[in-house]
Amino acid sequence: MNRRLTILKTILWAFVGGLAMLTVARFWHGLGATTNLSDAAPWGLWIALDVMAGVALAAGGFVLAGTVYVFGRERYRPLVRPAILTAFLGYVAVAVGLFYDLGLPWHIWHPMVYWQHHSVLFEVAMCVITYLAVLALEFSPVVLEHPMFGHPMFRGILKVLKRATIPLVIAGIVLSTLHQSSLGSLFLITPHRLHPLWYSPIIYVLFFVSAVALGMMMVSFESLFSAFFYGHKVRKDLLANLGKAAAVVLTMYVVLRVGDLIVRGVLPSALDGSWQSVLFISELLVCAVIPVALLLKRRVRNSVAGLAVCSILTVLGMVWNRLNVAIVAINRPAGMSYFPSWMELLVSLGVISAATLSFLYLVEQLKVYEERARTFPRKPSYDPASLHALAPYALSTPRRFSLAFVIAATLVAYFLPRDAVLGVRPTRTPVDAVRAVDGLLREDREGTTKRLDILTAGVDTPEVTKRKRLFMIDGNRDGNTVLFDHAAHIKRISIPGRDSCGTCHHLNMPLDRNSSCSECHRDMYEPTDIFSHSSHVRKLNGNDGCTRCHSDNSAAKTRDTATACSECHTEEVAQGAFVTSPGARWREAPGYMDAMHALCVTCHQKTIENTPERAPTNLARCDACHNVDHVARLREMIPSHKKMTPSDTFPSRNPISQAGRNKQP
Amino acid sequence: MRSSKGILIDTSLCTGCEECIVACKKENGLGKDRPWRGQGTIGELSASRWSTIIRKPGGHYVRNQCRHCLEPACVSACIVGALKKLPEGPVVYDENRCMGCRYCMLACPYGVPRYDWDRNTPLVQKCKLCEPRLAKGRPPACVEACPEKAMIFGGRDELITEAHRRIQANPNRYVPHVWGETEFGGTAVMYVSNISLDFLAWKPDTDDKSFPELSWAALKKVPGIVVGMGTLMAGTYWIIGRRMRLAAMEAEANKHVKELEERGTTNDSANEPEETTDGKNE
Amino acid sequence: METWLSWARGPFFWASLTFMFLGLARHVFVTVWEVVRATRRAGDKRIPHRKIAAVTLAWLLPFGKIKSRLAFGLTSLVFHIAIILVPLFLAGHVALWQRNTGLSWPAIPHLLADVLTVTAVLTAVCLVLQRAIAKDTRRLSRFQDYFLPLFIAVPFASGFLVMHPAWNPFPYEPTLLAHVISGNVLMILLPLTKLSHCVLLPGTQLVSELAWHWPPDAGSRVGIALGKEGEPV
């Protein structure tokens, strides 16, 4: 085996090793643990790259088969087998990629049973499944030619298959036409999501034409690829002609694409300098315009480097196009975005690597190319007389590849995020500390409704206002905060002659007699673990103190077998506290929101029961404390606040989509 | 769809007390809201929150939930028919059919369906209009729970009449539009409001075309393509094959003629094989 | 210190665990692959499979060996039992697995664990001493052979100190860190050193038995092929 090939295969095996590790994480802990997919981005890289681009890249199979078998262009026959093999492995990779992407992959067979012919996706699925079978049949003669299948039964099957070539090829063309175009039709139902530069009523035509061109360029890319690695002679004459044909189809594509924009009247938005327009223009340049310009030159067409550049440009450009349609140019709710996680990217690369390795293996074992692919001679079997066997280099390849596999898997394991190893945990929403602000107490003339507000310059209202020092409490709902009159509460609750902080501040820490709530209730929604093992170790004089909590020496030293906190910390719960018992095992403080609601709402409800005349300021109404009208002003006061945009709303209509829609028939 | 049921939400009556959300969570066993990175704020729709209230400045509260469209994009998008529109109104989900492609989430014009991203057996999560309760003749849990009667449940036609009645009775209070009457082919959950609710959908003023029509425009061409493309390819094959056969026969005939001619003259047979291959290649 | 601990228990642990499992699996795979290829190449149809299986099995069950060198064999046996049982079935370890993955299995009693841990440390030291004292083994030994038993003793000793803080002269957290890190390093060393005999033992025996039945000189070729040329058997 030559050096180039060994290096390539080592790298590919490393990717497959990474894939293996990620497979465990993906299927153990689900999509949320390994991907950046979310409700805002239901489709991500796996659909865009593995499915949409994968199917398009495999278009070479039907294009070449049609050219040779239907149109009788016998010259291209040497390119047919590799093209069909690429297509077959491409579709297998699509199916494997889908397996990762589907939420319930073991239901992948459902479309075959539960038909739903109003769904474009159903049509795509059925065509892909059938075409996969057709490709398998189209390629199987190559397998059956192998001496291993010398049995007369296999010879018989081979004969039948060869006779069925033409119907198979025609079926393949029909199926490909359908699903290559339908992958575009998938987005017909998303006029609200897809940017008008990509959304078009004829998107399926664009997808089909681009797939044909891409198929041709992919065929030349892969023959250059195997020529590079196996030292085959490049059939420059064939590839040049193929390039010429591809240039024609690509020109057609450009005309259709731009013509469609003109007809729909969206052309101005392609030139307005927005990021979408830049994206659109660069995509069109890379996938079609530059390759066509290059391919029209005879000198470029007839050189290996020129062909390589053109085919790589087209392949990258068309993949880019599919990514744009499926991910980049998709509208998302305000403030939400999607960028694939490294694990998603690595899974995609791993699947592609596995497909490439299969391609290389089959090319080496079978007669895919006219020239034999194996560049090293078959070693003689063991000869006891000459003792010639077991050449170390032949044996060293599985060692090398498996080592690459293991090292890559280990690296991936090291860099796996916590969620991917232990499952998705809720994200932390830190609580902002309470801060004091200058505020107002607004009261209408009758004194029935009272309302707290922030002091802003030039207040002039019919209400009676009183200046107050207020506390601003983080009330994170939709970026809201709560204003709290601490002084008034002290006045109302305090009992003369007694320190009554403990009424509300129920777990006063020894050094800080009125510690703030967010000291322990550190997360807005989730319970916080407030137990610190190391500080207890320090406080209890290191190793000597272990038995204070872990008294049972016959049990494992875990939290559950240790002494309850409340047994030692008896003084911290103040006399007459409103929240009396935080529970025997208060290592977890409830979320800030729950804690505050439990404190404020419960206490106020009690007050209402005692003094029913104060009922109108009942705290059961959310906006008694969470006043939406404060949001704008409060936002200016805490610029660092993380989640200030209410994002349940959708972005305002952009002028581009407006223009595009009006011109649609 | 005369018997189709629906909900009319009057946002001017809503006080944002969230009793409906509590009732919804209880009815459907949804549990606590848990924040995670895929979510904007915790108050949004999520797998554990099928309905929510959007708070707008000025003390306006707008309920957000599945609209149960009359011609639902999600139902037409679903590859296996896991989502179904029942004649009584609800769009319901069959978790035994779903394979988790999430096309419905992409298709929904309101962006309603949510997913269990944190589970390894995830399901699509959305309001089902309390379909089991409807079957027993009871209104949805949220409607029943509303202390302000901001939601009413009933036949869709009666609800539309009622909506217009309210707008006419109080033209100063309401924006003169019933959201859901015609949008995307009409929805079962409708709104009358004192503020504009255009923010609830990506395209508030579509020409009221239902989304399934858009994809059907392409899908209905499929049989044509199958027949057309099949015939075209078979025809091409036949014509080109015939031409090649004819060319081969002609070459054969030429060869014979030549042979006959050459039998008398000198031997010059070097050209012959080339000629035949040329003929085949054309 | 807390950061280091969470690193050693987190990514470093996962990576070491992965490396151990896959590395050992790779050893098995490569051995099987090479044995299959070698037997095929050898073309010898008269390989006595039954006898080879019997000998391999006899090797795996160490009773015969113990008889031949009683002291060494017994020490080794006890050592092996201790180092396999304790890490897998210690109640504290089982509790960690249970808390993080939900997997759980029965644990051994605490007292037994303590006894086994002390035994593991003592026998490890004994093994090294025996190796150093006996002349023939000393001649065959490399650095690895002294280092590995002593290194295996480190996580056991530190683990014992963590469990029995009253006897621990060092602070708690550094001891725990030493325990976790040495355990992780051990897992990494498993596939890289001769510790891989834990999975390779049946295979190695099979290979050498096969080699005995090959034509003259084929054995050394297998050795070359396995990349173990010149290494002590």
Kindly report, residue by residue over A447-504, the tens digit of the pLDDT.
666 677 776 655 556 666 777 788 888 876 555 678 888 888 888 777 666 666 777 7
**DSSP β-bridge partners for residue A473:** A482
Q: Are C131 and C141 in contact (CB under 8 A)?
A: yes
Q: Looking at residue A629, what is its pLDDT? A: 62
Output the average pLDDT for chain B.
85
Query: Which DSSP state fits A506?
Result: T
Q: Count how many pairs of residues, chain A against chain B, have C-beta atoms within 8 Å.
A: 272
Beta bridge partners of B118: none
Which pair of structure tokens corresponds to residue B146? 């509303």
Which single residue is written with the structure tokens 């897992």? C187
Domain residues of chain B, as ranges? 5-211, 222-281
Tell whether C101 lies on the interface with A, counting CB pairs under 8 A: yes
**Number of residues that make up chain B:** 282
Q: Residue A518 carries which DSSP code?
A: G
Enumerate neighbours of A (3 or more CB pairs within 8 A).
Answer: B, C
What is the C-alpha to C-alpha distance for residues C66 and A150, in angstroms, rounded to an integer? Answer: 55
CA angle A588, A592, A593 (to 5 degrees): 125
- Give the dihedral sign, CA B128/B129/B133/B134: negative
pLDDT grade, residue A394 (50/70/90)? very low
CA dist., res. A22 & res. B9, Å (int): 46
pLDDT at C59: 74
- Residues near C21 by beta carbon (within 8 Å), at least 6 away in sequence: none
Q: Residues 276-295, chain A: which have Cβ within 8 Å of B?
A: none
* Residues 26-55, chain C, touching A (beta carbon < 8 A): 26, 29-30, 33-34, 37-38, 40-43
Q: Provide the token pair at A585.
A: 């095992």
**Neighbors of chain B with 3 or more C-beta pairs under 8 Å:** A
Helices A77-101 and A236-264: crossing angle in degrees, nearest 10, is 50
Residue A375 has pLDDT above 60, yes or no: no
Taking the CA atoms of residue A312, residue A315, residue A317 and residue A323 in that order, the dihedral angle to the nearest 10 degrees is: -140
Element (H, E) at A30: none
Instruction: Name all domains of chain A by residue range, CATH numbers in brackets.
Output: 7-374 (1.20.1630.10), 435-637 (no CATH)
Q: Is it the case that chain B and chain A have 3 or more CB pairs lying under 8 Å apart?
A: yes
User: What is the rounded average pLDDT of the residues A597-619?
Assistant: 72
Average pLDDT over residues A503-516: 64
Chain C 62-81, residues with CB within 8 Å of chain A CB atoms: none
**Predicted-complex ipTM score:** 0.86
Q: Is A621 left (phi over 0), alpha (psi -120 to 50) or beta?
A: beta
**Is the pLDDT assigned to residue A356 strictly greater than 90?**
yes
Please name which of A179, A192, A26, A21 lies closest in space to residue C15, comparing C-alpha atoms.
A21
* Partner residue opposite A546 with nearest CB, options C14, C33, C165: C165
Distance, in Å, from the CA atom of A67 to the CA atom of A62, rounded to the nearest integer, reads 8
Place of tokens 């199926």: A175
Specify the range with the lowest mean pLDDT, choosing from A104-108, A220-224, A652-656: A652-656
SS3 per-residue string spanning B202-271: CCCCCCCCCHHHHHHHHHCCHHHHHHHHHHHHHHHHHHHHHHHHHHHHHHHHHHHHHHHHHHHCCCCCCC
Please say if the pLDDT value at position A126 is more than 80: yes
> pLDDT higher for A97 or C47?
A97
Please state the rounded mean pLDDT for residues A274-278.
Answer: 91
Which residue do the tokens 């690459």 mark? Answer: A404
Strand partners, B91: B85
Which of A306-320, A437-451, A526-540 has the least mean pLDDT?
A437-451
Does the beta carbon of A27 lie under 8 angstroms from any beta carbon of chain C? no
Domains of chain C: residue spans and CATH: 2-37+70-205 (1.20.950.20)
Residue A246, pLDDT > 80, answer yes
How much of chain A, in percent, has pLDDT values that exceed 90? 39
CA angle B167, B169, B172 (to 5 degrees): 65
Q: Which of A115, A525, A629 sits opposite B58 (nearest CB)?
A: A629
B31: CB partners within 8 A, 6+ apart? B25, B48
Eight-class DSSP state of A390: -
Lowest average pLDDT, out of A504-518, B2-16, B169-183, goes to A504-518
CA-based nearest residue in chain B for residue A29: B120
Question: pLDDT digits over B202-246, tens only?
Answer: 764 456 778 888 888 888 888 998 999 999 999 999 998 888 889
How close, in Å, is residue A569 to chain B by CA atoms?
Answer: 30
Task: Kindly report the three-state secondary structure assignment for every residue of A316-334.
Answer: HHHHHHHHHHHHHCECCCC
Among B185, B202, B204, B184, CA closest to B193 = B204
Judge contact between B67 and B18, C-beta under 8 A: no
- Cβ contact (<8 Å) for B80 and A111? yes
Residue C171 to residue A413: CA distance in whole angstroms: 31
Predicted confidence at residue A249, as pLDDT, reads: 95
Phi, psi of A573 (to 5 degrees): -85, 115
Of residues C82 and A661, the one with the higher pLDDT is C82
| Position with higher pLDDT, C216 vs A60 | A60
Among C14, C33, C34, select the one facing A414 at the smallest CB separation: C14
Please indicate whether residue A3 or residue A157 has the higher confidence score (pLDDT): A157
CATH fit for domain B5-211, picks 2.40.30.10, 3.30.70.20, 3.80.10.10, 3.90.79.10:
3.30.70.20
Which residue bears the tokens 């100063």? Answer: B172
Q: What is the dihedral of CA B53, B55, B59, B60, to 10 degrees?
A: -60
Give which of C174, C147, C179 is closest to C160, Cα–Cα.
Answer: C179
Q: Does A395 reach chain C within 8 Å, measured CB to CB?
A: yes
Look at A413 and C26 and tell me if their CB atoms are within 8 Å. Answer: no
Is the pLDDT at A386 greater than 60? The verdict is no
Kindly report, residue by residue over B76-132, the tens digit of the pLDDT: 999 999 999 999 899 999 999 999 999 999 999 888 999 999 888 999 999 999 999
Handedness of CA A312, A315, A321, A323 (dihedral sign): negative
Q: What is the pLDDT, as a whole number, of residue A638?
A: 52
Contact A543 C172 (CB under 8 A): yes
Report CA Rg, chain B: 32
C192 → chain A, closest CA residue: A403
User: Side chain identity at A381, as an amino acid letter?
Assistant: S
Interface contact C41-A389, CB threshold 8 A: yes
- Reference B159, options B97, B58, B27, B70; nearest CA is B70
Is the pLDDT at A99 greater than 90? The verdict is: yes
What does the alpha-carbon distance between residue B212 and residue A72 come to, in Å, rounded to a whole number?
41
